Structure 1
Amino acid sequence: MTDPLAAAARLSSVLFLPVRKLVGPLHRRGQSIEKDQNNDLPPLPEPWEDERWFRGGFPPRGHNALEPLLHGDEYFNDLYEALLAARERVTICGWSLTPLMALLRGKREGESILVDVLRRASERAEVYVLLWSGAPALFEPTDRMAKDVQKILNRYAPKVRCELDHRASFSHDHHQKAVTIDGHLAFVGGMDLSTFQGDRWDTSEHPLRFGPGWHDVQVRIRGELVSDVEENFCQRWNVVTGERLEPLSVKPIEPAGSMPAQIVRTVPAGFFPFAPHGEFGIYHVLTSAIRRARRYVYLENQYLWSPEVVDALVDAMNRNRSGPFRIVVVLPAKAYTGKYDNDEHVRLLSHADRGRGIFHAFSLYSGGPAMGTTGYRYLPIYVHAKVSIVDDEWFSVGSANLNGRGLATDTEMNVHAIVPSAARHLRVRLWAEHLGVSVDQIADADPIALVDTQWPEAAKAMEASMLSGGFPAQSQIRRYVPGHNPGSRLLDVIQQMTLEH
């Protein structure tokens, strides 16, 4: 008997052959990122010999101050003040931008409309904006949407230079989300200046609102890394425009920062003269950190599609048999695309766990008053953060999802650091929010003990509250629930034949 899924795969491979020629090899497993570039590069000098540092691209630097900003209320408030204080140059690169988005809310909303803030900044400083040029009509944001954004900026903020970057394969995009101010301040993370597909402005409470709650993280950077963030912008800007924009000289930070950290990127091969063979630093630092893991791996991400990352997690489970080891993954309850891939990899990791209690997958929810007899309802918080933390030693925050696009075929930027105090600080802040407790309540608790007790207890309480519609749960945590959509497998087969993950 003919397998209908196999027949569908064969049919789609013929129908979408022209598209496949445009997008190139699919899924990239065993191709672009399986061969770790670090193996072909000379070792870094002391004190950078740790294998978790990437030897290509921008080097690790020792004098930095990094501060994670959780959610749009923290990030956009900082950004608003920084933009209006700019006196030399502002650079912004993004996947999407909403000119009429308000950076502040409440009484100050009217004074913080993005296009007007950029106009005011451009009266005192050069302002450069580099956006992805958009997708064909089948996908969003479309190229028409990107051109409309450019037209609005040109009309209402004429001194702002806005260019669209079209150097990408069909179905791939430019996904970096980074801002620099005057050569002394940068922001790198997962947040676009946008409301497309969801308003990036949200708070740690995630109150119910029109549209999804949005969980995301950006990092404020001062110090030597700022020049690397701006260098990345200048490299891409110059390729698009043919100009020779140079980074501003980095300004010393006061007091001097002492965090060793590094900017790492994904740059696809064959598109940019500054990385003709591609650059896969994000893949290297993540998989290297997982290989070094001895107590826990914590991941927040929109997608868990990468077979290489899943393999690394399975290897970590099997390697750490002598002592307690935990893997915690926080995913959106309903990813915009590819939920089937998330579901399959959650099932695979659960199976590899074999009942040992190592692997845990969760989603986030918020609740609020509702009409009806129960008086309370819950909705998913969209997890858009791209955060990785290992052993309270290493962390990474940026734009890269855990899929082939984020690790091989889109342009991405992350900042990572091997700083135990900073890694622990970020974990405690995130876990306090998700568990619905104060930072002080869990600051000194063992992370494995929390995963074994408070996380499952919070998830159980959330499930009970959602079923009853009664008293609100204290936390945001619910166990991740794989879907049961009858057509999802067929859709995934066709997707594998047409679009890069």
Structure 2
Amino acid sequence: MSVPQPGDNCWRIARATQASTIIDADAYFRHARAAMIKAKKRIMLIGWDFDAAISLIREDEAQDGAPAVIGDFISWLVERSPDLEIFLLRWDVGAMKAMVRPSNLFTTIKWMAHPRVTVKMDSHHPPAASHHQKIVVIDDCFAFCGGIDMTGDRWDTRHHRDEEPGRLHPDGSPYSPWHDATTALSGPVAVALGDHARNRWKGAGGDDLLPVEGVEDCWPDALKVQFTNVDVAISRSAPEMDDQDGIREIERLYLDQIASAKRCIYAESQYFASRRIAEAIARRLDEADGPDIVIVNPTQADGWLEQQAMDTARARLFEALKARDTHGRFRIYHPFTQRGVPIYVHAKILIVDDRLIRVGSSNMNNRSMRLDTECDVTIDTALPVNAECGAQILAIRDDLIAEHLDLPAERVAGVIAARGLIAGIEEMRQKPGRTLRPYETPDLNDVQAWLADNEILDPEGPEEMFESISERGLFRRMKGWFGRN
């Protein structure tokens, strides 16, 4: 059994006095707002994108005197609390795109004029890479870490309704259903995530920040606690650069966790395009008694460029794995609404057996392994203090599947316990309405196939950005794996 090991597949292991998963941005925005209202000394917002115009709650729900729109809310927080400082770090390329929106530009200038609000653009990455982490740290006693950005197009409820009046752009136009996830953590693990956030802040050119001490009672009052007094492993990705070594904890953790599964692996990811993860899955598919492996993806990536990179790679990896799957233990599914509209999957979750749950910012693509900066957290029952967490981990998995199938979690748990993961999903998804549908490999034209095979748009790391095309390729290490029966 693989165990989280600091210095190998994780950075640190730290105690969480309380911990919970939060599914979908309706709940996250609501709890994030409540947590920030409790802040006394410091809020650090570390994100890929940030939209000052979005609302954290509906205007008619703002009964506490605090604004609903996050741009006004940040200003309100520092005006209300004279000891509070706010530090906001966002990816520089995403920030430049956001600045074309007048509301963002005006609000950012307003923030930057305030002595206790500091905004920085994170450019500490190679060309074509991104700062992709999504972390909020409040007073070093509470933190969110996961995959949800505080930006437009993210808000949705777990019902993923076809007609949802709250799922609108700031200009009032609708956007499609969106599924996402993050975690809430309190105690020493929040101190550790605070250290990580401060390190990233300094790496991006910010000043040294001291830890915050002496603040307690940061947990949002309405947030249900799922775990108490558990050890949490923090894993990171960061690219190799002239002034820093590359960090590959996330990659090693994926490989270790896939190798450790006994009965089943359930994952949600925006992409499935990583060679190394496909290789790890292939090894398990060769085993006569290996685990069921289910990955929930969106039907296609968000944006033309991402579709060319990620969707074509997924198609070719899926076909290669399908040829190896002689025991029928590998599936990719997509969630759909009541009327058959695809639900975009942005969550990054991995659940292995009843043993571990992992939530973070990393996707199952090459960039998340070595090129972009990422941060994931794991609760693993292999750590002795977590030994009794298995039932809660399974409950979270079954609740996620129940959301996608629009069924009671109790029924989902019973059917999977009796039939197994894939057979259970296959039985329950055969119904009209909101459900999961299996992935179907699209026809790939020659250009798309070439882009996928040569990883033109999804390099494994900064060194590959300048590597000869002849030295690259989706299957360059896989020929031995996928060429045999």
Same fold (TM over 0.5): yes
Letter of the structure 2 residue corresponding to residue 294 of structure 1: K
| Unmatched runs of 5 consecutive residues or more in structure 2 | 164-173, 220-224, 382-389, 461-485
Q: Tell me if the contact between 1:428 and 1:439 (Cα under 8 Å) persists in the aligned partners.
A: yes
Show the counterpart of 1:481. 440
SS in 1 for 2:340: strand
- My pick for the range that moved more, 297-306 or 238-247, is 238-247
Measure how far apart 1:117 and its partner are. Answer: 1.1
* Counterparts in 2 of 1:142 and 1:236: CA distance versus 1, 3 Å: closer
Measure how far apart 1:296 and its partner are. Answer: 0.7
Return the match for 2:61 from 90, 108, 114: 108
Query: Could you list the per-position Cα deviations for residues 42-95 of structure 1 after superposition, in whole angstroms to 9, with x for gaps in the alignment?
Result: xxxxxxx95333435632124442200000111111011111221110000111
1:57-456 to 2 correspondence within 5 Å?
A: 58-105=11-58, 107-108=60-61, 111-123=67-79, 124=81, 125-134=84-93, 141=94, 143-145=96-98, 149=104, 152-155=107-110, 158-159=113-114, 160-195=117-152, 199-209=153-163, 210-249=174-213, 257-270=228-241, 276-319=244-287, 321-322=288-289, 325-336=291-302, 337=306, 338-354=310-326, 356-367=327-338, 377-419=339-381, 420-447=390-417, 449-456=419-426
CA distance in 2, matches of 1:448, 1:270: 50
SS in 2 for 1:241: coil
Report the TM-score, using the length of structure 2 for normalisation.
Answer: 0.80
Show the counterpart of 2:479. none
Question: How many pairs align?
Answer: 418
CA distance in 2, matches of 1:330, 1:144: 29
Q: Tell me if the contact between 1:83 and 1:117 (Cα under 8 Å) persists in the aligned partners.
A: no
| Unmatched runs of 5 consecutive residues or more in structure 1 | 1-48, 135-140, 368-376, 466-472
Letter of the structure 1 residue corresponding to residue 39 of structure 2: A
Report the TM-score, using the length of structure 1 for normalisation.
Answer: 0.77
Residue 52 of structure 1 pairs with residue 4 of structure 2: yes
SS in 2 for 1:361: strand
Measure how far apart 1:488 and its partner are. Answer: 5.3
Q: Tell me if the contact between 1:459 and 1:479 (Cα under 8 Å) persists in the aligned partners.
A: no
Measure how far apart 1:223 and its partner are. Answer: 1.5
Q: Tell me if the contact between 2:415 and 2:424 (Cα under 8 Å) persists in the aligned partners.
A: no
CA distance in 2, matches of 1:487, 1:458: 37
CA distance in 1, matches of 2:239, 2:391: 33
CA distance in 2, matches of 1:385, 1:378: 20
Q: Tell me if the contact between 1:150 and 1:163 (Cα under 8 Å) persists in the aligned partners.
A: no
Measure how far apart 1:357 and its partner are. Answer: 2.1
* Counterparts in 2 of 1:381 and 1:144: CA distance versus 1, 3 Å: closer
Q: Tell me if the contact between 1:223 and 1:257 (Cα under 8 Å) persists in the aligned partners.
A: no
CA distance in 2, matches of 1:250, 1:70: 30
